[in-house]
Amino acid sequence: MPFVKVKDGTEIYYRDWGAGQPIVFSHGWPLCGDAFEDQMFFLGSRGYRVIAHDRRGHGRSTQPWQGNDMDTYADDLAELTAKLDLKDAIHVGHSTGGGEVARYIARHGTRRVARAVLIGAVPPLMLKTANNPGGLPLKVFDDIRAGIVADRSKFWLDLSIPFYGYNKPGVVASDGVRQSFWLQGMMCGFPASYFCVKAFSETDQTDDLKNIDVPTLILHGDADQIVPFADAGALSAKLVKKAELKVIPGAPHGMCTTHKDVINEALLAFIRN
């Protein structure tokens, strides 16, 4: 299996399909690159090279104790893109992966980047603070950590319900999708499961967003129960200089799966524009 070994010895697994302009996918917590397979197959079938890595501690990558923070995630991504010598790349990040993409651009610039897409992304800041009154209270994230410690397997099964909006009236849940979410969650190591909560909730990425200087598509569902639109996508669209905001009506956090046809077409239109 293909791995890139980064500077601290962590091995980052990635999948690399197709040929053409590279599109790099950064997944959300607690998932892995498999979460983007619908988008990868769609775009790979249309003449693009599609690459998705498993963030350190997630999926098939090794599970170090250290480095579960946004700076290290971004640096890992930079090492991957450099070792694959990717140029003119389009970076797509979902949820925590959107934070990873924003921090990668802020720390490493856009010499290798043509465009960016943030999908249900966590920036600018999920935590409620004096400067971010619309955020979520710390107790929300403390409860997440407590759930992981108490019964990680059950926590992932329970989380799959709001993640995909399966608790909304008229929405039919897919057991297969829930099982896939659970499997990817269980592939995530315990340290990453726990420590990444702080990374995605307490990292203020306001300045990261201001430093993005390439055309950027912001996709967010207005029924997102995990990363609420009003304090994430709506604010990000005001901070990114070249932002295009597209709100997906009725879409949950996991809309890359539940609304994959809509997301796929939105990505293709933005990439070809």
Q: What is the domain-level CATH number for residue 116?
A: 3.40.50.1820
Catalytic (active-site) positions: 95, 224, 253
Domain that holds residue 126: 3-272
Torsion 14-243-166-139 (CA) sign: positive
Low-confidence ranges of the chain (pLDDT < 50): none
- Number of domains forming the structure of the chain: 1
Q: Is the pTM of this model over 0.85?
A: yes
* pLDDT for res 273: 87
The rounded distance, in Å, linking the Cα atoms of 126 and 232 is 7
| Residues in Cβ contact with 22 at an 8 Å cutoff, skipping those fewer than 6 apart | 48, 49, 50, 51, 84, 86, 87, 88, 89, 90
